[in-house]
Amino acid sequence: MKKRSLNVKKKIHKKSKIFLRDKKIEETFKKFTANIKKLNFENNICVALSGGPDSLGLLYLIKSYKFPKKMKVFVYIVDHLLRKKSSEEALLVKSKITKLQMNTKILKWIGKKPSSNIQALARNKRYLLISKQCEIDNVDKIFTAHHKDDLYENFLLRLLRGSGLQGMSSFNSLVSSYNDKIKIIRPLLNIKKEELIYISKKIFNFYIDDPSNKNNEFKRNRLRKLILNLKKEGLNLSKLNLTLSNLTTSNNAINFYVNKNLKENIHKNKYNSSYIIGKNFFDYPEEIIFRSFSLMLKKVGKRYYTPRGRSVLKSLYMIKSKKDLKFTLSGCIIEKFNNSVLISRENTKKS
């Protein structure tokens, strides 16, 4: 890179930090810094940018943070093509951040769109598009703008679904795995939405107000209104945060034994890409067996989510009760013969 280009980048970086003199932004930046300074940065990172106040606030905080010199920051804007003006909005968002001189790319969801369960399927597709681009750009960390207010929405949403301990606490982590190569980073979990709105207005004087956020057909939007009403009735959010923290601690303890089980009792077949489950795998308590098996299916099937709990429980029952069997689940082929259990990926298995 030419010397002049380096000087321009330095000037822009200094300009981006001018607003840190603002007391409110400075306090938010301190919380953000405290969260990510524990992370190791060896490869490039990316920011999932929607154009809303949350992700724009995150983008500014990342731009103001001093990362290792050789590391690149990519910005991925996903155009779901679900609304008529979505492509216009994507280009508008890209134009609004050009002054930051960041590596920005628009990723489009090409193909047939769903007519139901739209938000969940769109979220899955968004992560899939981003993860594919991550492989191209040597990115191993996806920064997302999940913030403090999202914790309460997710808690109630999963409570209504009847989620177990893992489901109730999994969204409360700074770092989680998308797959074996890519981590999802949530550095705003202790930062309120109002702080991010403040940054977006102050820095960009702009953000996209997604109309789908006001659509009461989506359960998440109805829950947001419920939370507002509960706050008026005296909902103590600090106690709810303590509950989340306690659930996370218990979940981490279980995960310790899940990882131990996977390490000691899952063996890669040296002749192909399948995995053999050792006999001692099933000696652990039911919850640890359940999670271990779910994670193996997710890994082998290369899925973002683990399979549904009922399907996993049914599969484990079949494995324990039958001598020989063969079935498919979550992109995997599960076989049992001579008391051995083999898991292989469905579309790569050789005949």
**Residue pLDDT, tens place only, 85-101:** 899 999 999 999 988 88
Residue 250 lies in a domain: no
Q: In percent, how much of the chain has pLDDT > 70? A: 89
Beta bridge partners of 326: 335
Q: Which residue has the tokens 């594919």?
A: 132
Pick the range with the lowest mean pLDDT from 70-84, 215-229, 320-334. 215-229
pLDDT digits (tens, 9 = 90+) for 235-273: 777 777 788 888 888 988 999 999 999 999 999 987 788
What does the alpha-carbon distance between residue 266 and residue 276 come to, in Å, rounded to a whole number? 6
Token pair of 83 as six digits: 């609304």
Residue 35 lies in a domain: yes
Pick the range with the lowest mean pLDDT from 122-131, 144-153, 228-237, 318-327. 228-237
270 burial (CB, 10 Å; 0-12 / 13-18 / 19+) is exposed
Please check whether residues 69 and 106 belong to one and the same domain. yes
Does position 4 have pLDDT exceeding 90, yes or no?
Answer: no
Total count of domains within the chain: 2
DSSP H helices, the chain, are 3-16, 23-36, 53-64, 86-96, 118-136, 148-161, 165-169, 193-199, 219-232, 237-265, 286-301, 309-321
Does position 294 have pLDDT exceeding 60, yes or no?
Answer: yes
Please check whether residues 205 and 273 belong to one and the same domain. no
**Residues with Cβ < 8 Å from 207, sequence gap 6 or more?**
51, 52, 53, 56, 197, 200, 201
What does the alpha-carbon distance between residue 328 and residue 348 come to, in Å, rounded to a whole number? 13
Please check whether residues 274 and 311 belong to one and the same domain. yes
Residue 181 lies in a domain: no
Residue 319 lies in a domain: yes
pLDDT digits (tens, 9 = 90+) for 121-136: 888 899 999 999 999 9
Residue 159 lies in a domain: no
Please check whether residues 139 and 22 belong to one and the same domain. yes
Residue 141 lies in a domain: yes
Q: Strands of 332-337's sheet, edge to edge?
A: 266-268, 275-277, 340-345, 332-337, 325-329
Residue ranges making up the domain that contains 103: 3-146+186-235
Residue 18: per-residue pLDDT = 56
Residue 132 lies in a domain: yes
Does position 335 have pLDDT exceeding 90, yes or no?
Answer: yes
Residue 194: per-residue pLDDT = 94
Annotate 312-334 with b (16+ C-beta within 10 A) or e (fewer): beebbeebeeeeeeeeebbbbbb
What does the alpha-carbon distance between residue 181 and residue 50 come to, in Å, rounded to a whole number? 23
pLDDT digits (tens, 9 = 90+) for 154-186: 788 777 777 778 777 767 788 888 888 899 999
Token pair of 303 as six digits: 């899925």
Choose between 350 and 166: higher pLDDT. 166
Residue 349: per-residue pLDDT = 41
29: CATH: 3.40.50.620
Pick the range with the lowest mean pLDDT from 8-12, 170-174, 285-289. 8-12
Does position 1 have pLDDT exceeding 50, yes or no?
Answer: no
What does the alpha-carbon distance between residue 294 and residue 277 come to, in Å, rounded to a whole number? 13
Please check whether residues 137 and 91 belong to one and the same domain. yes
Please check whether residues 70 and 205 belong to one and the same domain. yes
Residue 165 lies in a domain: no
Q: Which residue has the tokens 């702080």?
A: 195
Token pair of 201 as six digits: 């207005």
Pick the range with the lowest mean pLDDT from 1-15, 144-158, 217-231, 261-275. 1-15
Pick the range with the lowest mean pLDDT from 18-27, 73-82, 285-294, 312-321. 18-27
- The mean pLDDT value of the chain amounts to 86
Does position 20 have pLDDT exceeding 80, yes or no?
Answer: no
